[in-house]
Amino acid sequence: MTTRTIHADPKCIAAVHRLAEALGIKIQDMPPAFPKAVGDPVRPLKIGVREQVLALMTDAGTRRGSLRALRSYALSLSYLMSVSADGAVRVDLDGSEVEPVSPEHAARARGQIIERRERRERLANVRLREARPAPSSRGEVVVACAPTNADLRASLGL
DSSP-derived pairing of the beta strands 41-42 and 6-7: antiparallel
For residue 25, the 8-state DSSP code is -
In this prediction, residue 143 has a pLDDT band, given cuts at 50, 70 and 90, of: low
Distance (Å, whole) CA 105 – CA 46: 12
Decide which of 33 and 139 is more confident. Answer: 33
Amino acid identity of residue 69, one-letter, is A
Q: Is residue 66 predicted with pLDDT exceeding 90?
A: yes
The SS3 assignment for 62 reads coil
Average pLDDT over residues 45-74: 93
Distance (Å, whole) CA 116 – CA 123: 10
Letter string b/e over residues 16-42, b meaning 16 or more CB atoms within 10 A of that residue's CB: bebbbbbbbbeeeebbebbbeeeebeb
Distance (Å, whole) CA 81 – CA 83: 5
Q: Is residue 133 predicted with pLDDT exceeding 70?
A: no
Distance (Å, whole) CA 144 – CA 123: 17
Rounded to 5°, the CA angle 96-67-71 comes to: 70
Distance (Å, whole) CA 128 – CA 130: 6
Query: Helix 63-74 and helix 10-23: axis angle, to 10°?
Result: 160
**Residue positions counted in the chain:** 158
Q: Is residue 18 predicted with pLDDT exceeding 80?
A: yes
pTM of the model: 0.76
DSSP-derived pairing of the beta strands 41-42 and 89-91: unpaired
